[in-house]
Amino acid sequence: MLQPFIKSWSGYGVRHIPDGDYDIYDFSRAGLATDNRWNIQGDSTLYLASEKDVALGEWSRHLQVERSVGLVKKVKRRKVYRFEVKLTSTIDLCDRNVWQVLSLQDARNCFLNKDTARAIAGFIRHTTQVEAIFVPSVVFLDCPDKWVLVVFLEKLSTNPYEFLPSCVEDGYFAVDS
């Protein structure tokens, strides 16, 4: 039973977007990608990293493993933002006890398989009130404090300031091709 593991959470999460004049609160593209690990296309999902090093590591890995050279050349410089996050219902998939409740075998490594990760997230997304899941960063798989927060946007207010009340710029990073 997952209920004992569902908790409210307040803290900070890091997001990066292309350097330019963009609205950091515009999540209209959040369900368009076909290659996300924790959601299928059409599921409006926001990914926030625990820290800048996690965001950079995940982005670099994503570019190396899953993107074309042409795209890599276009997206070198990223603007980083740190959001204040307030959620009433989360579950931590970095917690071994949650793995046991979900009967996950070789949990950290099973998260490397996108179909498995999507199935786990989809189950939680569609059968519980959970608004977001903490998942291990694929880049820092053995470091549970290096997480990614996968936010199920359809479960939250259409006004993002209600769950992301503040945001500050937190520098830039660049990825060399």
- The count of domains in the chain is 1
123 or 64, higher pLDDT: 123
Q: What is the DSSP string of 12-54?
A: EEEEEEESSS--TT--TTTTT-S--SS--TTS-EEEEESSHHH
The percentage of the chain sitting over the pLDDT mark of 70, rounded to a whole number, equals 92
* pLDDT on residue 67: 58
Choice between 59 and 128, residue whose per-residue pLDDT is larger: 128
What dihedral angle (degrees, nearest 10) is formed by the CA atoms of 16, 95, 117, 112?
80
Mean pLDDT of 66-82: 72
Please state, rounded to an integer, the average pLDDT across all residues of the chain.
Answer: 91
Q: Over 80: is that where the pLDDT of 62 sits?
A: no
Q: What percent of the chain is modeled with pLDDT above 90?
A: 75
132-136 and 166-174 beta bridge pairing: unpaired
pLDDT at 35: 87
**pLDDT band at 149; cut points 50, 70, 90:** very high
Q: Does 71 score more than 70 pLDDT?
A: no
Structural domain span for residue 86: 3-174
Check residue 120 and give its pLDDT.
97
- Residues 116, 99: contact at Cβ < 8 Å? no
pLDDT at 77: 84
Burial of 89 (0-12, 13-18, 19+ CB in 10 A): middle
